[in-house]
Amino acid sequence: MKGIRRSHQMFIQCFMSRGFLDAKEVKHLYKSCCETFGDAYLADEEERRKLLLEFVLTINNNLRQFHMEIKKGVSEEDGSNFYGLVNMSDNNITRLASDYTTNELELFKKIVEFIVVESATGEIGSIEVVNLTEKLDRRMSKNDAENLINRMEEDKWIRVKQGRISLGTRAILELEQYILSVYPDSATICNLCNKLCLKGQTCGSCDCKLHFHCASRLFRGQDEPKCPKAGCGEIWSHDIPNRDVTMRSTAVEQEDRHSRTRKRKLRH
């Protein structure tokens, strides 16, 4: 592969084994790859960022022949960045077949459909998920459904908060095209970033929708924010989210989730 060094290979192997990393983990991985194989790791943060972008670009230029790419995803909760190794030729839910049974994937499809088509908040309750098991060709017990939810949360396909389930950043990153193609009349695009928007704020006068973090960025410092959609311009009736507060809250939730995971492993 053209321009690929051993440091690139180590970087790719880590993504292949872990699949999905947040921005902090990517930076740590890049540093480790550089130090392991003697590549330049600059002290200046801006110059280091440019080299990292070039580093990933070199990888992607070589992976595209295999229909693979390291892509960036953005959390709908707080706007934080995540990165995943994505199969660009297969955006169907069946790509999860190696980790989940046919029946489990069928339930996940129904969860996705409910969140995209039925839910106004981009969420589904755990009780509603149990009710969805009754619509499967093969019935699934409540315990099996709960175990599936726990596994999919650990694998970062879904996010669970206070009994409410939403699609995780990994699912949105890898299944965006699937959702847009299967549910074209229900799936909504954010007016600011032009990405799939399941959780956000919608204009009271038109169908314009914004991610919470996009609304925070767009309306920051404005006393009377207005709908950004061309031809509308009505007053934005929602409270503007505080992105910094949301990010701190999410960090606490992630630590709580990690603690729960550790406790489950200890019990087993």
Look at residue 155 and tell me if it is in a domain.
Answer: no
CA distance 203 to 89: 35
Number of domains in the chain: 1
CA distance 194 to 144: 37
List the one residue out of 79, 27, 83 whose CA is nearest residue 248.
79
Cβ atoms of residues 105 and 195 within 8 Å: no
Residue 259 reports pLDDT greater than 60: no
CA distance 207 to 222: 21
What was the pLDDT predicted at 267? 45
Q: What is the mean pLDDT of residues 26-53?
A: 94
DSSP 44-96: SHHHHHHHHHHHHHHHHHHHGGGTEEEEEEE-TTT--EEEEEEETT--SGGGG
Look at residue 118 and tell me if it is in a domain.
Answer: no
pLDDT band, very low/low/confident/very high, at 93 (cuts 50, 70, 90): confident
Look at residue 84 and tell me if it is in a domain.
Answer: no
pLDDT band, very low/low/confident/very high, at 243 (cuts 50, 70, 90): low
Note the pLDDT tens digit of each residue in 97-143: 788 999 999 999 999 999 999 999 999 999 999 999 999 999 899 99
Backbone angles phi, psi at 43, to 5 degrees: -75, -35
What was the pLDDT predicted at 230? 93
What was the pLDDT predicted at 99? 87
Look at residue 191 and tell me if it is in a domain.
Answer: no
What was the pLDDT predicted at 94? 75
The lowest-confidence range among 37-46, 126-135, 248-257 is 248-257
Look at residue 72 and tell me if it is in a domain.
Answer: no
Token pair, residue 79, equals: 């706007």
Look at residue 32 and tell me if it is in a domain.
Answer: yes
Residue 54 reports pLDDT greater than 60: yes
Mean pLDDT for the chain overall: 88
Note the pLDDT tens digit of each residue in 64-86: 999 899 999 999 988 899 999 98
Whole-structure pTM value: 0.80
What was the pLDDT predicted at 32? 97
CA distance 10 to 152: 26
Structural domain boundaries, residue 26: 6-66
Look at residue 39 and tell me if it is in a domain.
Answer: yes
**Looking at this protein, which amino acid is placed at residue 176?**
E
Helix (H, G, I), strand (E, B) or coil at 2: coil
Cβ atoms of residues 158 and 111 within 8 Å: yes
List the one residue out of 172, 151, 194, 150 whose CA is nearest residue 76.
172
* 25-60 core/surface letters (b: 16 or more CB in 10 A; e: else): ebeebbeebbeeeebeeeeeeeebeebbeebbebbe
What was the pLDDT predicted at 121? 92
Look at residue 240 and tell me if it is in a domain.
Answer: no
Residue 46 reports pLDDT greater than 50: yes
Q: What is the mean pLDDT of residues 196-218?
A: 95
Helix (H, G, I), strand (E, B) or coil at 140: coil
What was the pLDDT predicted at 253? 42
